Amino acid sequence: MRNQPIRMKDVLKRLKPNFVVKYRFLEEKENLPYPGSMVNFMFNENESVMNIISDIFPEFKKSELGDNLIPNHKRVNKEGIADMWVISRKFISKHSEKLYVGKKCFFLNGHEIIAECEIVGVNQNLISA
């Protein structure tokens, strides 16, 4: 079993995430996902199912400071910070008008909201990439 997560910067060949969120899971601790779990994303709470996004991938951090990710064998924290990576470059411009500090957004499991998020950082260089 690999204890350290695969880094998205190594997979996508980009040095920094597109944006950063502060998140709070609504689930009890035993139901929290593990790093690398498939988590869907949505910008607005009342959007249709057609607007659920699966091309944005979170990397859950151990703390707000530093670059340490939560190991694969540990569940993510109930609250924390996650680096957010838009997987396909062709979708970066599609999402760019919704990427601004203070924007509320959500993690989903399927169609169910499992966490509330707020964008706390945006990499302006990667919005137009």
At 120, phi and psi to the nearest 5?
A: -115, -5
Q: What digits encode the pLDDT tens for the residues 60-71?
A: 988 776 668 888
| Whether residue 22 has pLDDT greater than 90 | yes
How far apart (Å, rounded) are the C-alpha atoms in residues 34 and 112?
Answer: 17
Beta strands 104-109; 40-42: pairing state: antiparallel
Percent of the chain with pLDDT strictly greater than 90: 25
Does the reported pTM lie above 0.85? no
Q: What digits encode the pLDDT tens for the residues 80-98?
A: 999 998 887 777 777 888 8
Q: What digits encode the pLDDT tens for the residues 28-37?
A: 766 788 887 8
> Hey, what domains does the chain have and what are their CATH numbers?
8-127 (2.40.30.10)
With the C-alpha atoms ordered 74, 109, 7, 118, is the resulting torsion angle positive or negative?
Answer: negative
